């Protein structure tokens, strides 16, 4: 009775109809939901992977910094107390919560018992103030007041197999004030060794992994009590770093300007290694530097300060002559004056009222260029007279510890009395080991001296006059003789200032000191606070947009899912053709019916999107688990954790919903336009294409249009950024797929089927193949699904890298070098010559060094720029290539700006290129430039040089797949202009016969352990880089594999539907005597036809897409493994056909016939 | 005649690869409100096509059909849909009940086609009345799959009449039924036709059924001939 009806049946509205339809057709809807789930999950998962990588990098960066916001890390030392002064600075208004002075150095460590060694570690001299900067008390180790202890962070302890109480030998690079590449720089005292007891192993989740350069590889840190390290390097009370934590600072806040102001307020001249001496005897002030040479920014600031203070400024360059000889006595060692200070001066050095005078008392004019003045002692020694030719012989230093002897002749134009201004040892700045020596024979210079040449008379002079110059030459001439690059270390050893007539020396000193400190630009001296937290967060955005990359590589998976949505939805709707026809017949408009059906599609899509968003979380989690474990070669990032911001979930949800709904809408096209009569009869889509010349024409137009679009995209992307080119690759790939599928459709539409003759042994097969053309829409979608997956698998497979057959060829990624190495403490000597090897502690005649040639590079430490680092490099490492390396050439260039044949033959010569705008030519690895720096050829990377200037580095060439992926290479001379204080060489490429690589690595690391020398086989390094790219490719091929799963599912659905529709036909064939096996073959033939068409279209599209790359940059395509993959695809697809086979063969004969 | 069905010289061709296939040729007929008629003829003679054209499910190749003076060929898509909804009721050989909906819901389906005007309580009451009339009052909540063939067809008749159509068309409504069910359905159709005062046109192969109708047409070789008029 009506009265017993359920409440919901008392009415019918559209919503009821939808609800009923959704539940009644649940099987079809479920398949649509599943396809929508896959698409949404792929999209959401890709977004979440990107979020998770960024979030994890951010977290790690913050954890490693504790509460540190800003850091001043300098290559010079200042008072440790500076940190306390900053806390009290008026500029900071007590906004700084904590400031810790520290010493940050590089070095190596060895286990005293096992001998196990870890080179290239960070050594941090810290005290309790540093641990006070930890985010959590747990990070703060028990740090007793013991002297000879060390705390190792977990990765270092693990690599060293060190336990608490073990003894380790810490080799630390000892900083020197006087540049090692100047005459008086000490090249052989650059490291020292400390024997320490391991007191604690510090967790790497905190300050234990402190690193100013963000990188995902955990740093190897050794923490030593600050005082211990200060003593070890001979700098009590000094530090080279200040780490600052602001009170309640936002992570992105940059207080650099405030800190710089405070720094300027707190710094003293002594902090800058400057001394302003008052010489009361001669009434002048002398500005000298611990670096011996006054740095150019200091010279400029001092000159300006003197002008403001009204002081007369003069300049002095004191140098050591090995010999002073007069022409007549040249060659006669006895008549030469050995080891004398010569002062190159300008006229302002002398007081205007107190000129140098001759022994006879007449004024002697300051030296002119080409002229020399001798003091009367030297003149007497040499029996020199006015007009004689005087020869100075002296050392000149070159790179890699080279010491040359040179000489120059002057005309003697004056002899000055050894009294008054000429009798002033203040011309020569203090130099430990020389000016403080009691006797001349006690000198301890960093160059060889022949003590036998020192006479009693020389000792007597030393006793009486110390380092008073024996000769004077013109300043500019002295500088041209003894200073190779005036802008590098400086060109003066002291600056002399005379007070104005109304000033006394003390007030002049005070005025000068004050003005000088005001004028000094601290950033030019490398004293710059770095907003490390902000920079780490910037770097934490990542060099690679993983979200974008995963979306790119999931593109075809998402498209496949969309196609599967369309396919399954369409199949479902085709089953409901009668229902649609009825709705039209009873007065529903086609639009209304379309809206109702689309409403169902949208509801199903919404369910799929919601579930898919959840599945996206799982997918992202799985991908991250893969990146942490199976694919750890790619990112080496065990710290990756799932981050799921609401924005990405919402974007994924809505995008998934829209894609699925749009696919459903596309699937509905034309359905409600069919006549109700046809729909009621269940006739909907058969025979749409075959025989239709018009449709064939349209398909050809689409094919040609899509092909041209693919070509146009490829051409348009030339010179575009890496991201754009990658997007274009997928865009043109999709266009090629469309072109190939349209061409297939056109071919199918045009072809007239030939008569199948029963005598033909292939008759059943041909009948099966022809069945595939009964529903062209379904079949083409199936082909598209398979083709998309095959495209991804083939296109990505072709990009797999492998080390070439001859890894040591000059054109290989190794550049022909067998070993690359890095030294924590730069080497100051040449490893290619016996003297250099000896100086470095190697036996000159060591057999393993035969046939070894080392190409050293200057190294500016910075952010790792290779794909080994997920962080965005903000200040990448830069290396300076010697002229020898530039001329050698090697490696293969992917592209360059070479214009001449010579440059094309050896693009390294482009490093010499001069740009009018001052840009510095640079060469980098193509992948690094494209993916890490997001730049290209002729584009600029702006860096901050040592003097704080913004300098553009312009890419003049990019290397193809090289071991130099982590470096940016500039010419050595340009490097030294950018980073003048860099001395020695920290990076090395080594040529050696391949069979000696292992021994060479081992021996060099052992013998150069004091320098933290770390050698690696170039082939091994190249494999590591290749492993990264190949692992990424594996990741994305997995996505292609998922696409293949969707493709086979779609194909199985189509086959099942086809078989279901033809069940009575099958039954009839059985009634006519066809064997089950024959019918099985019929189904499999249809399956095989679709599969082979998909494989052919996918392969053709992929090969066309990668063809430009294969032609322009030939690579070894792993055809074998690709072919194997395709065979597996075929086998998997055929297995899915078996799924459709079962119901076809199991359909009961009579019911099926009755339905006919 | 405002309440009449007029067909004037209607022809219908279907395109084939060998040129157009003429199914109906120059057919004219007129049925007044209250009249019932059958169309008989051999299989493939175009009976269903004629019914579809008269019911505005497909247009004729040439000629004109009007119902109450209204020509579906001149209507917009929306007007045409409303015309089918309000003026025509269709009973198909294959009942085409929606399997996901209950019997009552199936009957009510046409009432949701026009969302603006239908009066839900009235439609519901009429649906119940019709179901009672076709003896399915106790099966309102049942799904089509739970009904016999005769019951399904009776439900389809109720659905066809829900909007009080002027023209009731039935395409072999008893073709899939046994004799007893067929007779019951035929009697019901005619009873309801009389009660609702519709124009009833039924396509059938059954001469016994045809005898109950006031007029009988035969379709052969594309032409329509009136075989009998009471």
B31-66 residue pLDDT tens? 999 999 999 988 888 888 999 899 988 899 999 999
Q: What is the mean pLDDT of residues A1034-1038?
A: 72
Pairing of the two strands B167-171 and B199-203? parallel
**List of chain B residues whose C-beta atoms are within 8 Å of the C-beta of residue A11:** 108, 120, 124
**List of chain A residues whose C-beta atoms are within 8 Å of the C-beta of residue B131:** 2
Q: How far is B225 from chain A (nearest CA, A)?
A: 24
Q: Which residues of A touch B (CB under 8 A)?
A: 1-2, 4-6, 9-14, 16-17, 20-21, 23-25, 578-579, 581-592, 675-677, 680, 691
Q: How far is the C-alpha of A111 from the C-alpha of A165, rounded, in Å?
A: 11
Binary contact (B96, A578; C-beta < 8 A): yes
Fill in the DSSP letter of residue A134.
Answer: -
**List of chain A residues whose C-beta atoms are within 8 Å of the C-beta of residue B137:** 1-2
Binary contact (B94, A578; C-beta < 8 A): yes
The pLDDT tens digits for A951-982 are: 999 999 999 888 998 899 999 999 999 998 88
Q: How far is A692 from chain B (nearest CA, A)?
A: 10
* HSE, side-chain direction, 13 A CA sphere, residue B22: 11
Q: What is the mean pLDDT of residues A863-869?
A: 79
Q: What percent of chain A has pLDDT over 90?
A: 34
Confidence of residue A4 (pLDDT cuts 50, 70, 90): very low
Q: How far is A1050 from chain B (nearest CA, A)?
A: 25
Judged by average pLDDT, the poorest of A499-513, A647-661, A696-710 is A696-710
Q: How far is the C-alpha of A523 from the C-alpha of B155, rounded, in Å?
A: 91
**List of chain B residues whose C-beta atoms are within 8 Å of the C-beta of residue A587:** 81-86, 88, 110, 113-114, 163
Confidence of residue A627 (pLDDT cuts 50, 70, 90): confident
**List of chain B residues whose C-beta atoms are within 8 Å of the C-beta of residue A25:** 100
Q: What is the mean pLDDT of residues A592-601?
A: 89
A1013 vs A4, higher pLDDT: A1013
Contact, A711 vs A633, CB < 8 A?
Answer: no
Q: How far is A608 from chain B (nearest CA, A)?
A: 21
Beta carbons within 10 angstroms of residue A1152's beta carbon = 18
Q: What is the mean pLDDT of residues A1090-1102?
A: 86
Residue A424 to residues A429, A459, A470, Cα–Cα distance (Å) = 11, 17, 10
Q: How far is the C-alpha of B76 from the C-alpha of B57, rounded, in Å?
A: 14
Contact, B66 vs B87, CB < 8 A?
Answer: no
Binary contact (B141, A13; C-beta < 8 A): no
Give the global pTM. 0.75
The pLDDT tens digits for A162-207 are: 999 999 999 988 888 888 888 888 777 777 889 999 988 988 888 8
Residue A413 to residues A368, A1002, A1147, Cα–Cα distance (Å) = 9, 60, 121
| A132 pLDDT higher than 90 | no
Judged by average pLDDT, the poorest of A247-261, A443-457, A461-475, B200-214 is A247-261
Closest CA to A807 of A895, A892, A885: A892
**List of chain B residues whose C-beta atoms are within 8 Å of the C-beta of residue A580:** none
Judged by average pLDDT, the poorest of A394-403, A769-778, B88-97, B137-146 is A769-778
Comparing CB atoms, the residue among A12, A578, A587 nearest residue B114 is: A587
Binary contact (B78, A691; C-beta < 8 A): no
Binary contact (A588, B81; C-beta < 8 A): yes
Q: How far is the C-alpha of A686 from the C-alpha of A270, rounded, in Å?
A: 92
Q: How far is the C-alpha of B67 from the C-alpha of B56, rounded, in Å?
A: 10
Residue A282 to residues A353, A426, A442, Cα–Cα distance (Å) = 11, 9, 28
Q: How far is the C-alpha of A106 from the C-alpha of A102, rounded, in Å?
A: 13
Render A138-205 in DSSP notation, one character per residue: GGS----S-SSEEEEEHHHHHHHT--TT-EEEEEEEPP-SS-TTSTT--SS-SEEEEEEEEEEEE-SS
Phi, psi angles (nearest 5°) of residue A249? -80, 145
Q: What is the mean pLDDT of residues A453-470?
A: 92
Confidence of residue A722 (pLDDT cuts 50, 70, 90): low
Mutate to test the interface with A, among B105, B126, B135, B138 (most CBs of A within 10 A): B105
Q: What is the mean pLDDT of residues A637-654?
A: 88
Q: What is the mean pLDDT of residues A805-833?
A: 87
Closest CA to A882 of A902, A916, A853, A903: A853
Check residue A617 and give its pLDDT: 92
Confidence of residue A7 (pLDDT cuts 50, 70, 90): very low
| A518 pLDDT higher than 50 | yes
Q: How far is B183 from chain A (nearest CA, A)?
A: 24
Contact, A105 vs A192, CB < 8 A?
Answer: no
Binary contact (A12, B101; C-beta < 8 A): yes
Confidence of residue A913 (pLDDT cuts 50, 70, 90): very high
The pLDDT tens digits for B73-123 are: 899 888 888 898 889 999 988 888 888 888 998 898 888 877 554 567 788
Q: What is the mean pLDDT of residues A987-1008?
A: 87
Mutate to test the interface with A, among B141, B142, B152, B169 (most CBs of A within 10 A): B141
Binary contact (B90, A586; C-beta < 8 A): yes
Q: How far is the C-alpha of A1115 from the C-alpha of A799, rounded, in Å?
A: 8
Beta carbons within 10 angstroms of residue A1005's beta carbon = 19
Kindly report the average pLDDT of chain A as a whole number: 84
Burial call B191-225: b when 16+ CB within 10 Å, e when fewer: ebbeebebbbbbbbebeebbeebbbbbbbeebebe
User: What is the three-state SS of A712-733?
Assistant: HHHHHCCCCCHHHHHHHHHHHH
Phi, psi angles (nearest 5°) of residue B8? -120, 110
Q: How far is the C-alpha of A1010 from the C-alpha of A258, rounded, in Å?
A: 40
Binary contact (B85, A588; C-beta < 8 A): yes
Confidence of residue A1151 (pLDDT cuts 50, 70, 90): low
Judged by average pLDDT, the poorest of A109-118, A499-508, A548-557, B153-162 is A548-557
**List of chain B residues whose C-beta atoms are within 8 Å of the C-beta of residue A13:** 112
**List of chain B residues whose C-beta atoms are within 8 Å of the C-beta of residue A17:** 98, 100-101, 105, 109, 112
Q: Which residues touch A797 (CB under 8 Å, ≥6 apart)?
A: A1033, A1037, A1117, A1118, A1121, A1122, A1125
Which residue of chain B is at minimal alpha-carbon distance from A20? B100
Check residue A576 and give its pLDDT: 86
| B230 pLDDT higher than 70 | no
**List of chain B residues whose C-beta atoms are within 8 Å of the C-beta of residue A1:** 137-138
| A478 pLDDT higher than 80 | yes
| A161 pLDDT higher than 90 | yes
Q: Which residues touch B89 (CB under 8 Å, ≥6 apart)?
A: B159, B160, B161, B162, B163, B165, B167, B168, B169, B198
The pLDDT tens digits for A411-438 are: 999 999 999 899 999 999 988 888 888 8
| A5 pLDDT higher than 50 | no
Check residue B64 and give its pLDDT: 93
Ranked by mean pLDDT, which of A215-224, A740-749, A1026-1035, B13-22 comes out on top? Answer: A215-224
Check residue A514 and give its pLDDT: 92
Q: Where are the alpha helices (DSSP H) in A520-589?
A: 532-539, 546-575, 577-585
Comparing CB atoms, the residue among A20, A587, A591 nearest residue B105 is: A20
User: What is the three-state SS of A938-961?
Assistant: CCEEEEECCCCCEEEEEEEEEECC
Contact, A409 vs A327, CB < 8 A?
Answer: yes
A414 forms beta bridges with: A373
Which residue of chain B is at minimal alpha-carbon distance from A3? B138
User: CA gyration radius for chain A?
Assistant: 40
Judged by average pLDDT, the poorest of A23-27, A323-327, A663-667, A1068-1072 is A1068-1072
Confidence of residue A337 (pLDDT cuts 50, 70, 90): very high
**Angle between helix B77-87 and helix A577-585 axes, rounded to 10 deg:** 80
| A133 pLDDT higher than 60 | yes
Contact, A656 vs A648, CB < 8 A?
Answer: no
Mutate to test the interface with B, among A21, A578, A582 (most CBs of B within 10 A): A582
User: CA gyration radius for chain B?
Assistant: 17
Confidence of residue A750 (pLDDT cuts 50, 70, 90): low
Beta carbons within 10 angstroms of residue A142's beta carbon = 8
Binary contact (B58, A21; C-beta < 8 A): no
**Chains A and B: how many Cβ contacts under 8 Å?**
117
The pLDDT tens digits for B196-206 are: 899 999 998 88
Confidence of residue A274 (pLDDT cuts 50, 70, 90): very high
Query: What region, left, alpha or beta, does residue A137 occupy, with left being phi > 0 and alpha being psi -120 to 50 degrees?
Result: alpha
Check residue A9 and give its pLDDT: 40
Mutate to test the interface with B, among A7, A9, A12 (most CBs of B within 10 A): A12
Comparing CB atoms, the residue among A1, A17, A590 nearest residue B112 is: A17
- Local structure of A62: helix, strand or coil: helix
**List of chain A residues whose C-beta atoms are within 8 Å of the C-beta of residue B111:** 12
Binary contact (B110, A586; C-beta < 8 A): yes
Which residue of chain A is at minimal alpha-carbon distance from B79? A589
Q: How far is B120 from chain A (nearest CA, A)?
A: 7
Confidence of residue B217 (pLDDT cuts 50, 70, 90): very high
Residue A868 to residues A56, A505, A637, A928, A1021, Cα–Cα distance (Å) = 16, 59, 10, 10, 11
Binary contact (B77, A591; C-beta < 8 A): yes
Check residue A1110 and give its pLDDT: 67
Comparing CB atoms, the residue among B58, B85, B101 nearest residue A586 is: B85
Contact, A779 vs A685, CB < 8 A?
Answer: no
Pairing of the two strands B36-40 and B62-67? unpaired
Q: What is the mean pLDDT of residues A61-69?
A: 86
Q: What is the widest separation between alpha-carbon atoms in chain A?
A: 144
Ranked by mean pLDDT, which of A637-641, A740-744, A816-820, B89-93 comes out on top? Answer: A816-820
Burial call A1030-1045: b when 16+ CB within 10 Å, e when fewer: bbbbbbbbbbbbbbbe
Residue A1131 to residues A419, A779, A1091, Cα–Cα distance (Å) = 102, 19, 10
């Amino acid at each position: 009775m009506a009265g017993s009806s359920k409440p919901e049946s008392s009415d019918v509205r559209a919503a009821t109809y939808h609800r009923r339809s959704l539940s009644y057709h649940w099987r079809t809807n479920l398949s649509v939901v599943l396809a929508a789930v896959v698409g949404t999950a792929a999209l959401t998962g890709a977004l979440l992977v990107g979020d998770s990588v960024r979030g994890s990098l951010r977290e790690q960066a913050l954890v490693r910094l504790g509460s540190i916001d800003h850091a001043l890390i300098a290559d010079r030392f200042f008072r440790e107390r500076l940190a306390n002064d900053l806390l009290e600075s008026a500029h900071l208004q007590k906004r700084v919560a904590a400031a810790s002075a520290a010493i940050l150095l590089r070095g190596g460590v060895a286990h005293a018992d096992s001998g196990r060694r870890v080179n290239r570690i960070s050594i941090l001299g810290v005290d309790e103030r540093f641990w006070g900067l930890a985010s959590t008390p747990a990070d703060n180790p028990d740090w007793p007041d013991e002297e000879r202890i060390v705390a190792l962070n977990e990765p270092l302890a693990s690599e060293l197999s060190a336990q608490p109480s073990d003894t380790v030998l810490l080799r630390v690079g000892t900083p020197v004030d006087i540049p090692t590449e100047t005459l008086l720089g000490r090249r052989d005292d650059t490291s020292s060794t400390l024997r320490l007891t391991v007191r604690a192993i510090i967790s790497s989740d905190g300050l234990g992994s402190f690193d100013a350069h963000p990188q995902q590889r955990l740093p190897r840190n050794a923490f030593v009590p600050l005082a211990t390290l200060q003593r070890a390097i001979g700098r009590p009370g000094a530090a080279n770093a200040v780490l600052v934590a602001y009170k309640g600072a936002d992570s992105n806040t940059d207080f650099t300007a405030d800190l710089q102001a405070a720094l300027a307020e707190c710094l003293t001249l002594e902090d800058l290694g400057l001394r302003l001496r008052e010489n009361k005897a001669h009434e002048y002030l002398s500005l000298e530097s611990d670096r011996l040479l006054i740095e150019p920014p200091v010279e400029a600031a001092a000159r300006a300060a003197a002008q403001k203070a009204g002081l007369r400024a003069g300049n002095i360059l004191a140098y050591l002559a090995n010999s002073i000889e007069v022409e007549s006595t040249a060659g006669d060692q006895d008549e030469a004056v050995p080891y004398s200070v010569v002062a190159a001066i300008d006229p302002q050095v002398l007081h205007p009222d107190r000129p140098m005078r001759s022994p006879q008392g007449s004024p002697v004019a300051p030296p002119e260029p080409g002229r020399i003045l001798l003091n009367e002692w030297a003149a007497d020694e040499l029996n020199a007279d006015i007009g004689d030719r005087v020869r100075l012989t002296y050392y000149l230093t070159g790179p890699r510890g080279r010491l040359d002897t040179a000489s120059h002749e002057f005309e003697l134009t004056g002899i000055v009395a050894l009294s008054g201004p000429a009798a002033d040892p203040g011309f020569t700045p203090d130099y430990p080991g020389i000016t403080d020596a009691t006797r001349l024979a006690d000198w301890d210079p960093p160059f060889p001296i022949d003590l036998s040449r020192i006479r009693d008379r020389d000792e007597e002079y030393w006793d009486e006059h110390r380092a008073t110059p024996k000769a004077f030459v013109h300043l500019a001439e002295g500088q041209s003789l003894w200073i190779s690059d005036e802008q590098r270390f400086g060109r003066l050893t002291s600056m002399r200032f005379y007070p104005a007539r109304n000033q006394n020396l003390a007030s002049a000193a005070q005025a000068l000191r004050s003005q000088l400190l005001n004028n000094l630009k601290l950033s030019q001296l490398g004293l710059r606070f770095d907003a490390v937290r902000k920079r780490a967060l910037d770097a934490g955005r990542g060099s690679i947009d993983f979200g974008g990359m995963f979306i790119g590589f999931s593109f075809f998976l998402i498209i496949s899912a969309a196609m599967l949505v369309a396919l399954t939805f369409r199949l479902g709707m085709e089953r409901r053709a009668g229902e649609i026809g009825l709705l039209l017949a009873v007065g529903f408009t086609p639009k209304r019916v379309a809206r109702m059906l689309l409403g169902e599609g949208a509801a199903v899509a919404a369910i799929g999107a919601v579930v898919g968003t959840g599945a996206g979380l799982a997918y992202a989690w799985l991908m991250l688990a893969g990146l942490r474990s199976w694919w750890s070669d790619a990112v080496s990032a065990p710290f990756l954790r799932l981050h799921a911001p609401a924005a990405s979930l919402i974007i994924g949800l809505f995008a998934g919903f829209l894609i699925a709904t749009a696919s459903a809408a596309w699937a509905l096209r034309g359905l409600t336009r069919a006549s109700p009569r046809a729909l009621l009869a269940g006739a909907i889509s058969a025979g749409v294409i075959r025989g239709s010349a018009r449709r064939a024409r349209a398909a050809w137009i689409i094919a040609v249009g899509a092909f041209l679009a693919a070509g146009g995209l490829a051409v348009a992307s030339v010179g575009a950024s890496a991201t754009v080119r990658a997007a274009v690759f997928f865009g043109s790939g999709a266009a090629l797929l469309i072109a190939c599928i349209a061409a297939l459709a056109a071919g199918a539409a045009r072809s007239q089927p030939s008569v199948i003759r029963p005598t033909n042994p292939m008759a059943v097969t041909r009948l099966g193949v022809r069945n595939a053309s009964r529903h062209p829409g379904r079949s083409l979608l199936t082909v598209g699904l398979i083709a998309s997956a095959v495209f991804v698998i083939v296109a990505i497979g072709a990009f797999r890298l492998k080390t070439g057959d001859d890894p040591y060829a000059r054109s290989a990624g190794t550049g022909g070098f067998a070993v690359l190495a890095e030294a924590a403490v730069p080497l100051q000597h040449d490893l290619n010559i016996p003297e250099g090897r000896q100086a470095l502690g190697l036996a000159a005649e060591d057999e393993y060094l035969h046939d070894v040639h080392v190409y050293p590079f200057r190294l500016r430490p910075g952010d790792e720029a290779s794909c080994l680092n997920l962080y965005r490099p903000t200040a990448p490492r830069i290396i300076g290539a010697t002229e020898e390396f530039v001329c050698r050439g090697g490696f293969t260039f992917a592209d360059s700006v070479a214009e001449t044949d010579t440059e094309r033959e050896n693009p390294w010569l482009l490093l010499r290129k001069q740009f009018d705008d001052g840009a510095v030519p640079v060469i980098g690895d193509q992948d690094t430039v494209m993916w890490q720096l997001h730049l290209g050829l002729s584009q600029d990377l702006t860096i901050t040089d040592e003097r704080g200037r913004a300098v553009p580095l312009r890419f003049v060439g990019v290397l193809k797949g090289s071991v130099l992926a982590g470096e940016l290479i500039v010419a050595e001379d340009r490097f030294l202009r950018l980073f003048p204080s860099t001395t020695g060489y920290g990076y090395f490429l080594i040529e050696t016969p391949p069979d000696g690589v292992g021994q060479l690595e081992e021996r060099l690391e052992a013998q150069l352990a004091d320098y933290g020398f770390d050698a690696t086989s170039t082939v091994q390094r190249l494999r590591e880089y290749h492993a990264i790219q190949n692992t990424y490719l594996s990741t994305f091929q997995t996505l292609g594999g998922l696409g293949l799963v969707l493709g086979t599912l779609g194909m199985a659905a189509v086959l099942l539907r086809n078989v279901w529709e033809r069940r009575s036909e099958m039954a009839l064939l059985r009634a006519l005597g066809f064997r089950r096996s024959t019918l099985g073959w019929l189904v499999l033939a249809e399956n095989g036809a679709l599969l082979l068409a998909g494989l052919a279209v996918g392969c053709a599209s992929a090969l066309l897409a990668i063809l430009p790359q294969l032609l322009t940059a030939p690579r070894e395509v792993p055809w074998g493994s690709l072919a194997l993959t395709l065979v597996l695809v075929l086998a998997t697809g055929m297995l899915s056909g078996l799924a459709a086979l079962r119901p076809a063969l199991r359909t009961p004969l009579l019911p099926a016939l009755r339905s006919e | 005649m405002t309440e009449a069905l007029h067909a004037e010289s209607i022809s219908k061709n279907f395109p084939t690869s060998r040129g157009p296939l003429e199914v109906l040729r120059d057919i004219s007929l007129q049925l007044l409100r209250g009249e019932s008629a059958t169309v008989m003829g051999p299989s493939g003679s175009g009976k269903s096509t004629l019914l579809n054209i008269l019911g505005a499910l497909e247009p004729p190749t040439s000629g004109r059909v009007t119902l109450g003076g209204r020509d579906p060929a001149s209507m917009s898509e929306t007007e045409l849909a409303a015309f089918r909804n309000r003026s025509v009721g269709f009973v198909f050989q294959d009942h085409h009940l929606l399997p996901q909906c209950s019997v009552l819901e199936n009957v009510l389906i046409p009432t949701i086609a026009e969302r603006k005007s239908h009066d839900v309580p009235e439609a519901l009451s009429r649906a119940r009345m019709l179901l009672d009339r076709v003896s399915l009052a106790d099966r309102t909540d049942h799904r089509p799959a739970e009904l016999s063939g005769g019951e399904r067809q009776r439900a389809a008749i109720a659905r066809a009449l829900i909007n009080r159509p002027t023209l009731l068309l039935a395409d072999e409504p008893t073709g899939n039924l046994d004799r007893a069910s067929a007779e019951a359905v035929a009697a019901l159709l005619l009873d309801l036709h009389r009660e609702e005062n519709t124009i009833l046109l039924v396509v059938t192969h059954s001469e016994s059924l045809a005898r109950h109708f006031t007029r009988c047409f035969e379709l052969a070789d594309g032409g329509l001939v009136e075989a009998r008029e009471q």
